[in-house]
Amino acid sequence: MAVIIAVIIMTNISVATAYADDTGSEVNASQVTSVPTFTSALPHQTGPAIWAQQSVDQFATEMGLTQVHWVTLESGQMMATPCNVYSSRNAYVYCPSTDTAYIGLDQADYFNEGTNPLAAALLTAHEWGHHLQRIKGTKQFGQANEDGADCVGGAWLKWHTDREGIQMTPADAIGFYELAVKIERPVWMPNDPHGTRWDRSIAMSTGYFGGLAACNRYSQVM
């Protein structure tokens, strides 16, 4: 029933979810629910690719906002930062100390697998959302900030699909639901700042329909 409800909701609003934090913690590998097979309208993308970062940068420019610094970690690569030690397997994180988003190729493949071709790109936009929050003076990161970054991801999704002339399909909605199941707050980590699959879907839909300005309801981004 949950899958049916999600498909109905997410097909209508074309939302997506992205995972990110500021510590590089591992994501929740929840069991993915079996769903019907549809054909996605989205082009297949492997990993985050440079195009995703460039797309988010272009979105920032068109909106008159600042860009974040990007560092891509190749498969097997590790890097020590002022925030934490990141690897290609756990890096999809924003480090405020360096104002840099660290993007791991292995982590990106994990997010794309069995979800949606734009999953990794969506959380690339999510990381830029944390940059915007920092620019606006956010000092602490909690669920409101994570929801706000998800909202930014939704705003980018709308901009990107409109720009590319992409029509979302039921397959895309199902893929984003599978992503939300994969990355929602683990039940054994009640203090994790990320929301449930529904929290994140609502935040993304807020950005998709309302644009970046609507994301200020969670945390200031513009």
pLDDT reported for residue 41: 60
Give the integer Cα–Cα distance in Å for 75 and 15. Answer: 29
**Total structural domains within the chain:** 1
Query: Does 222 map to a domain?
Result: no
- The answer to whether residue 182 sits within a structural domain is yes
Which tops the pLDDT comparison, 28 or 161?
161
Would you put residue 36 in left (φ > 0), alpha (ψ -120 to 50) or beta?
Answer: beta
CB atoms closer than 10 angstroms to residue 64: 7
Residue 173, domain member (yes or no): yes
Q: How many angstroms separate the Cα of 219 from the Cα of each of 104, 168, 215? A: 26, 28, 7
Burial (Cβ within 10 Å: 0-12, 13-18, ≥19) of residue 155 = buried
Tell me the average pLDDT across 173-188. Answer: 81
Residue 55's pLDDT is: 94
Residue 10 lies in a domain: yes
Range of the domain at 146: 2-217
Q: What is the band of 43 on the pLDDT scale with cuts at 50, 70, 90?
A: low
- Out of 25-39, 73-87, 93-107, least confident range: 25-39
Of 7-16, 60-69, 72-81, 154-163, the range with the highest mean pLDDT is 60-69
Q: What is the mean pLDDT of residues 109-131?
A: 88
- Asked whether residue 73 is domain-assigned, the answer is yes
More confident residue, 215 or 75: 215
User: Across residues 44-70, what is the average pLDDT?
Assistant: 84
**Higher model confidence: residue 173 or residue 159?**
159
